[in-house]
Amino acid sequence: MSDSSESKQDKAGDKPTSTNLGSGPDEDVGNTTTDDAERVEKGSSDEQDPNIVFWDGPNDPHNPKNWPDSKKWLNIGVMSVLTVITPLGSSMFAPGIPEIMTEFHSTSSTVATFVLSIYILGFAFGGLIVAPLSEMYGRWPLYNVGNLLFTAFTIGAARSSSMGMLMAFRLLMGLSGAVPVTIGSGSIGDVMPVEKRGRAMATWALGPLLGPCVGPVAGGYLIQAAGWRWVFYLIAILGGICIPIAFFGLQETFAPVLLDRKAARLRKETGNPLLTSKMASEQDFKKKLQADVVRPLKFLTMAPIITAMSLYMAVTYAILYLLITTFTFVYGKEYGFGEGTIGLTFLPAGIGMAIGVVSLGPLSDRLVKSRQGQGKEHRPEIRLIPYFSIPTGLAIPAGLFVYGWTTDKGVHWIVPMIGVAIFSAGLMGVMMCIQNYLIDTYPLYAASVTAALSLFRSLLGALLPLCALQMYDALGLGWGNSLLAFISLALVPIPLVFYYFGANLRKRFHLNV
């Protein structure tokens, strides 16, 4: 419980602690974290109120920002493992699609693509439910319930007896598997200071991208040896192993929930019913639920920063899934790869992403630390600095041109795979730029921001691949991938625009969420 002396200590203490907590749930979050800190400091009347419960000074060990690094990285590590497993479900069985089509007596190319991409629709709509719930009840319950349901639905997919049943369980897998993908960035923002966030974000972001790329490598050989159903059994086994690990290894990190618990404990200990968390919402449950559910859509449609950035991420993510859903057909037809070896065609995308993480993740943090070392105030736009965001953006169309024209002309298979690796490294860089920028801008609502990004990204990622084979049939592999390259090339200037004008746009477009 904060008394007047603690209030003075908070004001005079470490600014980043207040900064990263942000404002209350009903306050304007359109400004930077620095503005959030100023608004907290302006609430002096609240801080003088003895019934307001807050952290016990800037070094309170119960504040997740002040946890030891070992505790922070344990949380991030467990969460990142979950973020690898659930995306495995999206495409690990991709090499077995021809076998599934034969078993369920289907010949439609659209069905062949949709059975893969329907999982991503689950990601899209699951995020809209998961994000607000995590901002009402905290991160820990969502991780554990989500993993339990994901494991159960994966077993259902393995036991499917028809194409409709398989699609239904894959949709449910996506809905429950959206939990770590949606709230992982929020969990990182809960515990990591801004100068260490880039590396943690890179570790976490690798899961949603690496899982769909590396999974089919093992999936191809597993399907060849034991059949497509064992892909789902394997994923269910991995999810089951993680149930006790997540239950005991993860801890709650969301500050408003932790402060609510602290207030409840102090009310019980002191008998004072007036004690309340400084970050508690004054809305009743029904209104708060409505506001929380609408928040991701509000971010997506009314914040130009998020709208433009989500468009960039959605297009690049959709292209990735278009490539993933067509590797089986392209390499099988053009290069004669079999069921086992065709899984290896997904490996270059994973290698490219790993290169992106290792080389670009630490660079983002070094940029922030460099400014801090010069005594400059951090601003989110530093995450979009041109010599970081522009080259990574250009790598995406460059990789697509190489992949498209070398497959079209029948050049040795290693060359298009190099093109995919270049594309994937660029994609990882773009994703890190955008995710870090938006978390720095909206720290308290990182989960809702990620849900907004995920909705647009997953919808396009699920729907664009449906026309992939028809596009290749009409335009060929060369011009078909060139079309995708030209579209991604047109999006490259977006980070540059926000690097120069983002601060003004954040001040102009305030959202009362």
The confidence score (pLDDT) of residue 38 equals 35
Using alpha carbons only, how large is the chain's radius of gyration in Å? 23
pLDDT for 405-417, tens place per residue?
Answer: 999 998 999 999 9
Question: DSSP class of residue 385?
Answer: -
Quote the CA–CA distance of 507 and 513 in Å, as a whole number.
Answer: 15
The confidence score (pLDDT) of residue 511 equals 62
Query: Is the confidence at residue 368, as pLDDT, over 80?
Result: no
Count how many residues are written for the chain: 513
Residues 178 and 142: beta-carbon distance below 8 Å: no
Positive or negative CA dihedral for 486, 491, 492, 497? positive
Q: 3-class DSSP state for residue 272?
A: coil
Nearest C-alpha neighbor of 195 from the set 60, 369, 36, 422: 369
Query: Is the confidence at residue 285, as pLDDT, over 60?
Result: no
Quote the CA–CA distance of 252 and 22 in Å, as a whole number.
Answer: 18
DSSP string, 208-246: HHHHHHHHHHHHHHHHHHH-THHHHHHHHHHHHHHHHHH
Higher pLDDT, 283 or 160: 160
Q: What percent of the chain has pLDDT over 90?
A: 25
Mean pLDDT score, 256-266: 90
The confidence score (pLDDT) of residue 158 equals 93
- Token duo for residue 367: 């940029």
Higher pLDDT, 334 or 236: 236
Give every CB contact of residue 93 below 8 A, 6+ residues apart in sequence.
100, 216, 219, 223, 228, 231, 232
Average pLDDT of every residue of the chain: 80
Mean pLDDT score, 225-249: 92
Residues 365 and 194: beta-carbon distance below 8 Å: no
Domains and CATH numbers, the chain: 64-252+289-508 (1.20.1250.20)
Residues paired with residue 277 on neighbouring β-strands, in sequence order: 53
Residues 429 and 392: beta-carbon distance below 8 Å: yes
- b/e burial code for range 284-294 (CB count within 10 A of at least 16 → b): eeeebeebbbe
pLDDT for 180-208, tens place per residue?
Answer: 988 888 888 889 887 787 778 777 776 66
Query: Is the confidence at residue 113, as pLDDT, over 90?
Result: no
The model's confidence at residue 147, banded by pLDDT at 50, 70 and 90, is: very high
Query: Is the confidence at residue 347, as pLDDT, over 50?
Result: yes
Higher pLDDT, 414 or 25: 414
- Token duo for residue 350: 């994973």
Q: Give one word for 190, left, alpha or beta, with left for phi > 0 and alpha for psi -120 to 50.
A: alpha
Nearest C-alpha neighbor of 163 from the set 107, 109, 101, 253: 101
